[in-house]
Amino acid sequence: MHHVIQEGPWSFENHTLVCRQVHDGVLPSDVVLDAVDMWVQVHDLLLGYTSDEVLEQVRNFLGSFVRCDDRFAGVPWRSFYRVRVAIPIARPIKRRMRMVKRDKQCYWVTFKYERLHTFCFFCGFLGHSYKFCLKARDSGLPVDHYPYSADLRAGVGRGPGAVGDPWLVPLGGSPRTAGTPSVVDAVGSGGVEAAQPASRQIEERGIVAVSKRWCEGYGSGSKRPGSGSGDVTMTEVSKNLHMAGTGSQSRPSS
């Protein structure tokens, strides 16, 4: 129970589960499920404005304070500060907070939520996405103009890479990374040939996974029936198949 309550929030099909402890003498139906405890990262705090009083204002702005992250207590400045706050599910999540400095100038601190599941990019409420939001549909705005985005999730990866020929490796070649020239040096029997594009090399020389096709069940050194010249002849390695069969093994006498 402590692991579920303290290490959440948890989800079911990427939807946040609101969990609360049921104490002795309380009916489960009387437990109010109106907030979810989350770790919130506070970014862009200026040096000299990281005291407990300033962090208390941030906690009250986000929701009800639960506890602080005291793993790096005493450090004068950190890239971000973590606070655990009970976020009300009846209100939209907060993107940022305006802070006033001593000279009356204003600046913004931004928030990132750890283990943030499905939420609406338009209205900021937990529990549904913008695809099922009536307000987002009636607004007529494109998705990139919505006030919220996936940047509110802490630790967002770079996303899936582009699918293309960089992951194809020609015979005898080496993997190429995106952004590098698609040129490989082809070495022929008579010397070094001119550099050719990798796509042409792939067409002429084939892919490793394709050129090693072999139909299981044919004899040693035989080609696939009806195959063209593109298939490669495979030589079967001799193995002690007699000992591998279950029927040929002798059972020890009892």
**Spatial CB neighbours of 27, under 8 Å, sequence gap ≥ 6:** none
Read off the tokens for 174. 């080496």
- Whether residue 46 is predicted with pLDDT greater than 70 in this model: the reply is yes
- Average pLDDT over every residue of 180-208: 45
pLDDT (tens digit per residue) in 104-130:
899 999 999 999 999 999 999 999 999
pLDDT (tens digit per residue) in 67-100:
888 777 777 678 888 889 999 999 999 999 998 8
| Residues paired with 64 in a beta bridge | 86
Supply the pTM of this predicted model. Answer: 0.57
Read off the tokens for 96. 């940022």
pLDDT for the residue 7? 81
- Whether residue 224 is predicted with pLDDT greater than 80 in this model: the reply is no
d(CA 166, CA 179): 9
pLDDT for the residue 57? 86
Q: How many Cβ atoms sit within 10 Å of the Cβ of residue 85? A: 24
Average pLDDT, whole number, for the chain? Answer: 73
Longest dimension (CA), the chain: 95
d(CA 175, CA 217): 33
